[in-house]
C-alpha cells in the first residue's frame, strides 16, 4: 500500500508498544527535500505507474537512488535504510489511511493473483506462497533469472527483480557485501535465493491480461 513511505506496527504487548511510541516520537521532522520527494513518488505511482511502464520507472529509480561514485556500501545502506526514517507527516498519514480503507479490496486482488500464479508455479515457489495468502508479490525461483529479467524488460512485462543478485539489501554485487564482512558462501541458501528469486506482481494494476503475459513468459524459463 503506497503511502509515500512509512509503516504500521501492531502489537498486544504494552511494553513493546511503549518502546515503539518512544522511537516514533524521537524521529526528526521531514525537511522540504523529503516532502517533495515523497509527494513526487505518490504522484508517479498514481498517474504514471503501469505494468507497461514498470521497467522505465524502475531504471529511473535505480539511477536516482544509486549512491555517488565514491560512496561505500555501508553509507549506501545507511542512506537507503537507516537515514530515511522521519516523523509521519499529515500527508503520509492521509495517504496511509486512504489505502488502509481499501485494504479488503487490495487483499482480495492479491489473493486472486497468487491463486492463479500458484496453478502454474506451485512447485517453483515456497510453501507459504501457495495457500491463498495476501502477498506483496508471489515468489518464484528461476535459475535463468538474469535472462528472464532481460526478456521481461524487452517485452514490457512487469516482474520484481529484488533482490537483484545479493542477499543483503540494497546491495547488488558481492564486492560491496565483502566490504561489510559478508562473503559469498557464508549463507548458501540466502545466496542461492538471491540469485534465483523473482517476484510476480499482485497489485491491482495487474489485470488478467497482464497476468497471462507474466505466466506465459515465466513458464518458458522454469527449467
Question: Is residue 120 helix, strand or coil?
Answer: helix
Are 188 and 131 members of one domain?
yes
Are 90 and 45 members of one domain?
yes
**Dihedrals φ, ψ of 199, to 5°?**
-100, 130
Mean of per-residue pLDDT scores for the chain: 86
Are 149 and 75 members of one domain?
no
* 82 pLDDT tier (thresholds 50, 70, 90): low
* 17 pLDDT tier (thresholds 50, 70, 90): very high
Are 134 and 63 members of one domain?
no
Given a cut of 90, whether residue 170 has pLDDT beyond it is no
Quick one: pLDDT at residue 88? 82
* 97 pLDDT tier (thresholds 50, 70, 90): confident
For the chain, the domain total comes to: 2
* 11 pLDDT tier (thresholds 50, 70, 90): very high
* 6 pLDDT tier (thresholds 50, 70, 90): low
- Give the angle 98-104-110 at the CA atoms, nearest 5°: 105
Alpha-helical segments (H) within 27-144: 32-47, 54-65, 73-80, 90-100, 103-121
Given a cut of 80, whether residue 79 has pLDDT beyond it is no
Quick one: pLDDT at residue 66? 56
The domain of 77 spans 1-101
Q: Which of 157, 175, 156 is nearest to 165 (CA)?
A: 175
Supply the pTM of this predicted model. Answer: 0.81
Q: Among 101, 119, 138, identify where a domain stops.
A: 101
Q: How many CB atoms lie within 10 A of CB 99?
A: 12
Question: Is residue 88 helix, strand or coil?
Answer: coil
Are 71 and 94 members of one domain?
yes
Amino acid at each position: 500500500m503506497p503511502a509515500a513511505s512509512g509503516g504500521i506496527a501492531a502489537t498486544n504487548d504494552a511494553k513493546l508498544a511503549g518502546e515503539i511510541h518512544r522511537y516514533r516520537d524521537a524521529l526528526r521532522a521531514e525537511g522540504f527535500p523529503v516532502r517533495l520527494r515523497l509527494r513526487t513518488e505518490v504522484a508517479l505511482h498514481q498517474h504514471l505507474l503501469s505494468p507497461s511502464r514498470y521497467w522505465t520507472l524502475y531504471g529511473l529509480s535505480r539511477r536516482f537512488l544509486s549512491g555517488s561514485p565514491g560512496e561505500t556500501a555501508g553509507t549506501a545502506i545507511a542512506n537507503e535504510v537507516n537515514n530515511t526514517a522521519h516523523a509521519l507527516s499529515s500527508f503520509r498519514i492521509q495517504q496511509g489511511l486512504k489505502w488502509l480503507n481499501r485494504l479488503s479490496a487490495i487483499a482480495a486482488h492479491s489473493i486472486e493473483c497468487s491463486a492463479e500464479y500458484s496453478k502454474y508455479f506451485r512447485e517453483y515457489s515456497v510453501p507459504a506462497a501457495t495457500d491463498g495468502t495476501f502477498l506483496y508479490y508471489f515468489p518464484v525461483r528461476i535459475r535463468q533469472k538474469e535472462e528472464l529479467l532481460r526478456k521481461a524488460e524487452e517485452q514490457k512485462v512487469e516482474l520484481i527483480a529484488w533482490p537483484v543478485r545479493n542477499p543483503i539489501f540494497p546491495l547488488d554485487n558481492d564486492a560491496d557485501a565483502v566490504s561489510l564482512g559478508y562473503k559469498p558462501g557464508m549463507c548458501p541458501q540466502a545466496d542461492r535465493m538471491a540469485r534465483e528469486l523473482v517476484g510476480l506482481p499482485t497489485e491491482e494494476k495487474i489485470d488478467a491480461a497482464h497476468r497471462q503475459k507474466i505466466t506465459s513468459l515465466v513458464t518458458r524459463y522454469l527449467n
